[in-house]
Structure 1
Amino acid sequence: MTKGNADEYIIIRGRGRVSALGDQAFPASSESPFSVHPNGLPVAALPDATEAALAELRRAHPAYRQLDRTVLLAMLAARQAATEARWHTVRDPTPSPSPPGEGCVQQHLTTGTPLPEGRGWGQGNPPSLSVSIGSSRGATHHLEHYHEEFLREGSVPAAASPLTTLGNVASWVAFDAGSTDGAVLSHSSTCSSAFQALGNAVAWLRAGMAERYLAGGAEAPLTEFTLAQMQAIGIYSPFAADAWPCRPGAGRPSTFTLGEGAAVFALEKVAADIAAAEVATTPQQPLFRLESVGFGFEAIGSKTGISPDGRHFQTAMQQALQQAGRKPSEVDALVLHSPGTPAGDAAELAAVRAVFGEKQPLLLSNKWLVGHTLGASAALNLDFALQVLETQQWPVAPFSTYLATATEQPIRRILVNAAGFGGNAASALVSLL
């Protein structure tokens, strides 16, 4: 990705999140947010209040009743981000029950009629809205359900295909937003998927190909089959749900713990002088700048493995810094990918040492709070970073780890890491103006 114009900033206007912490970035209590899945494994599932919000969203439109949980999570987070950005929503009280076409939000699939007036964010002729959503597995619940139905009945309903493709995650977010003229893209690059979406959004905004962008990640992987896959790799945590089962930076044993969630960001390109004026006139309103998104790749023998020195992490971090024109010493904190696996945590730490030397930034993580949400994890990491920038504090892990506990220095710039199977990594650099 090329460098942006120094006179223009990519601003995060709003953000929304859904996780085991509900719609909060930090926990409201000192109790573990993890619960026990019906199969006995600890998981980071949504709390009751968020489940109720998800159920309400499902009832908001007749077509939403058929959507996969991953899609609904993305929509819920996107609505929060748009509300915070003041991209207000005005919905039609009698929406058409027909769903949008796959990858196309301009017309309904079956009738071909225009979208109803008054639905979506904004009124009149608002700026065009584009959407990029990352997800490792997409419509996991629906895909497994339809496959089980096929094995049992020998047939599947016609809706199975459009409702299980990865593209339907972003297209439904766009449909809910009333977008009719922006890009609608879904991305999958395992656990760095959300940053693939974010990087795409930054590139489009910088190039003038988009005016407003909703970008992030969503994942609802708490199914029997997906959990069994994580167990098969041999990395799942042995700790109980109430004993903080996910422990990044704690060493052995492996403490990978699966979670579900989403985080979406409302992005705009703003002239640097206008952004500075906003900060001066409304200092009580934090304004975040997304400075860069860097990527790193390496060829490795095992598709589930990682090089001991985390070369893909090194490349991603270095690229993010170079794009932003920043030195390593200008980074105050680093939100690690930190999956809680000994090999993964050690490789990332080695990469941090290679890039930053002896003067490392504060090392932070939120996976001990929300679990590993696969394709949504990078987005939730970034949301956590923004909360740290806004509040200048963070919760302290209740177990032995190398994660930072406190600082006396102000935190103005944070680097955020993500990585996935297959040797890919991504890093995003964000700062407080």
Structure 2
Amino acid sequence: MPINLQMPALSPTMEEGTLAKWLVKEGDSISSGDLLAEIETDKATMEFEAIDEGVIAKIVVAEGTENVKVGDVIAIIAEEGEDASEAKAAPAPKAEKSAEAAPKKEEPAPTPAPKASPAPAAKAAAGANDDRLKISPLARRLAEQKGVDLTAVSGSGPGGRIVKADIDAAEGGTAPVKTETPAPAASPAPSSAPKKGAETGSDFDIPHTVEKLSGMRKTIARRLTEAKQTIPHYRVSIDINIDKLLALRGELNASLESRGVKLSVNDLLIKAQAVALMQQPDCNVSFTEDNLIRYERADIAVAVSIKGGLITPIVTSADSKSLSAIATEMKDLAERAKAGKLKMHEYQGGTASLSNMGMFGVTTFDAVINPPQAMILAISAGIKKPVVVEDNVQIATIMNATGSFDHRAIDGATGAAFMKAFKEIVESPMGMLA
């Protein structure tokens, strides 16, 4: 019997996706584990593997199709020994067959639609032909609300356009009155295209374009709105001298050059955050309705900016990995994140997050917690500043770090203790190598 290949749910939040590319064609034989298609989810572009064996009898959904619902049939597979040509005409699911087999009930004659009620007086006062007037969206709304006859108002805006001030003046009886009657003009044909200069609440239309939200952007918006509305954030900032960290990085990179490994400052900070979480385990937690989940390892989700959004690939067990392993893994994760090739387990989960905007010269910022995690570390740029060291003024490279914590799970003193531990690790970085 033909097998219906359905649109899979490739992430916990996925409800629909784009079938970006088919990697097979009709007539191809497939086995379990073969790659069938590339599917764009709300997080990334992922490859879809076959579970069943057989022949691709029919591709139902063409590549490039957007908004394919999870569970929709995207292809039909003929099983071994089955005629693929017959499978192309596979019967509909049982529920649909029974529906077709059932005798159709005679539908009652359609009831004539009721006549449209007359428009409110205020709208009528605005004039039957006001859609041909030059008028800003805000002015039109005000005219309808206040019952101003637009045919009697002269516009003071560019090209005789009626603006808010004209409506306000007309309401007070001081607006200039039109003396000429506009020549009749044919009403423009209705169009489904978006109007240029949609209502923005301003007196003048602003040139703009409308961009459809991607699934990723919708997910980012939903999750961050949920985080800000449901998680009581508090923030702790601290300044850190990173001169020793930079010196250590230089020495390590010189010794790792022959192995083709290059450490970034971010790689060292990932390690420092993971070690600090092990030292302050009360921050390596997640809050749920009835429980506090305590993690026994530090999986650091690292914010990576990609086209159209943001994704957080995870360095697992960062507390126990070497710096060279973290650097190699992070480079691979970042490259595949930007190419949309991450697998679901590589960006789902994590026990804490790190967001570094130092490369943009940002001196301080705070980040939004990524639920269900209970903390995120915001890293700013290292800036040369005068500092007092043992009563002497010296120039040092100072980096600001700000931790955002979920107050339901992590008390203020606990968050402060974590930031203190993080500072000590970064300022004495040789400990990370032990």
TM over 0.5, yes or no?
A: no
Larger Rg belongs to: 2
TM-score range, shorter chain: under 0.3
- With the length of structure 1 as denominator, give the TM-score of the two structures: 0.25
Name the structure where strand makes up a greater proportion of residues. 2
- With the length of structure 2 as denominator, give the TM-score of the two structures: 0.25
Greater relative contact order, per chain length (Cα 8 Å cut-off, separation 6+)? 1
